[in-house]
Amino acid sequence: MASHKSAKKRIRITERRRKINKISVSKIKTSLKKVFDSKKKEDAEKYYKEAVANLDRGVSKSRLHRNTAARKKSQLTKYLNSLTQ
């Protein structure tokens, strides 16, 4: 166990950041699932905007690699375009 004051602080901060990162990544995954589960184009477009915003936010906060986000956005767009009215 840590005995230095700075090491104890590091442990607290690391735990806090781990929880925040987990929440963020979970939100991204949930928004992606909402798009892929929707069968109506109108619903999918609504969820698509939310998913892209979450992906971009994850990249800007360094919780997701930019190429991963780009790949997922490409998959979403491809799915959205395959839906019919």
Specify the pTM: 0.84
> Cα–Cα distance between 45 and 22 in angstroms, integer?
26
Tokens representing 43 are: 């619903």
Was domain 5-82 assigned CATH 1.20.58.110?
Answer: yes
Domain locations in the chain?
Answer: 5-82
Write out pLDDT tens, residues 9-50: 999 999 999 999 999 999 999 999 999 999 999 999 999 999
